[in-house]
Amino acid sequence: MSRPRGFADEDLMEGTIEKRSQRQSEIMARLRGGRTLSVTALAADLAVSDETIRRELRALEDHGVIIREHGGARMTTPVHEGPLHQRMEENADAKIRVARAAAEFVQDGAIVFIDSGTTSCFIARHLADRRSLTVITNSLRVASDLGGINNNRLFLAGGQMDYDYRAFSDHVAQDYVRGFTPHLAILSVGGISLERGLMDFHPGEAAMSRIAYATSKQVLLAADASKFGRYALIQTAALSDVGILVTDKPLEEDYARAFAHAEVVIA
């Protein structure tokens, strides 16, 4: 799997890709209030060097997430995908159709990881009648829908909560999820590109997806048609890493070839 754009070999001296993803997430969190922050202030806040901050700002600028200014940076607009409740309303009909079809792959007693994406949240709702599930998730919404019912076991990743996503995806949550080996990972995605593969907007969520791809026996990607050809911030996986693709419209010819290895379900 190729490295996400902005992660050169020499950058690894400053930490692993996951540490860099977390650092970039923390930088964006500090800039989301609309403020312009200096390199020096960010470096002091994150306890790293000025040059490390400049390197992260260059990577974020390459992805169009921030605007670098003299001695500092500010967010572009929109700053991210938006709060969970807002994203739940976008393409809701398509997401519900995808969710209904995706839920058919989960049987009673399954061990599943479910991420915090909006389509994944819809899928969780459609699993309310399943019994004896073991659910691993970083999403409060998924935990609320599936925990405490039907003899399910729930493992909720903790750490610092992202209130917009209603989820946990910092290094504490990532370390927790890394310890599980689910039968099936149910994942959402920010964008799907023939050239760049699978991408997400949130560095922490992208890191969580990479962990799920690495530890799960099989991955189900739930993505409505709006995600195809869409560019996001950080690469999470190659198209070839998907075992099951559930979407709402027939794939264009190029994408059909790219997902020829996978089981493709049109909801």
What pLDDT digit, counting tens, does each position of 10-57 carry? 444 445 666 787 788 788 778 765 667 889 989 998 999 999 999 999
Domain ranges of the chain: 9-75, 84-266
**Residue (of 149, 105, 148, 147) closest to 123 by Cα position:** 105
> Is residue 8 over pLDDT 80?
no
pTM, two decimals, is: 0.70
Look at residue 5 in the predicted model and tell me its pLDDT: 41
**100: alpha, beta or left? (left if phi > 0; alpha if psi -120 to 50):** alpha
Provide the percentage of residues in the chain whose pLDDT is more than 70: 85
> In the numeric block, which tokens belong to residue 256?
């059909």
Q: Is pLDDT larger for residue 2 or for residue 101?
A: 101
**Residue (of 257, 198, 246, 202) closest to 81 by Cα position:** 202
Q: Annotate 11-29 with b (16+ C-beta within 10 A) or e (fewer).
A: beeeeebbebbbbbbbbbb
- Can you tell me the distance from the alpha carbon of 133 to that of 28, in angstroms, rounded to the nearest whole number? 35
Contact 133, 110 (CB under 8 A): yes
Strand runs labelled E in the chain: 37-38, 66-69, 72-75, 111-114, 134-137, 153-156, 161-162, 167-168, 184-187, 191-193, 197-200, 218-222, 234-237, 244-247, 263-266
The residue-averaged pLDDT of 184-213 equals 93
DSSP 69-99: ETTEEEE-SS-SS--HHHHHHTTHHHHHHHH
- The size of the chain, in residues, is 267
**CATH architecture of structural domain 9-75:** Orthogonal Bundle (1.10)
Paired sense of beta strands 37-38 and 72-75, if any: antiparallel
Tell me if domain 9-75 and domain 84-266 are identical in fold: no
> Which CATH fold topology does 84-266 show?
Rossmann fold (3.40.50)
